[in-house]
Amino acid sequence: MWYLLNLLWGNEMSDNTKPVCPDCGKELEVLAACGAKSYFCNHCNELKSSSRVRSANPSLFPEHKD
């Protein structure tokens, strides 16, 4: 059951692969709904844009090179 709850809330990433906030460097909460992921920083108390999160965490979001 915990696995399903983790998938529902987008926490399928293990602790060592969670993205960090581009502003404060703290771990972000990953929220997934309707096929989209959102990133929330509890320290800054605000949502972070996906593009800024991707640029701050390049090892977690490899670029697609065709």
Short-list 36, 37, 19, CA closest to 28: 19
37 has a pLDDT exceeding 60: yes
Residue 36 in tokens: 């989209």
65 has a pLDDT exceeding 60: no
Q: Please give the mean pLDDT across all residues of the chain.
A: 82
- State residue 51's pLDDT score: 94
- State residue 39's pLDDT score: 96
Secondary structure (H, E, C), the chain = CHHHHHHHHCCCCCHHHCCECCCCCCECEEEEECCEEEEEECCCCEEECHHHHHHHCCCCCCCCCC
- pLDDT for 2-20, tens place per residue? 555 555 555 545 556 899 9
pTM for this model (two decimals): 0.68
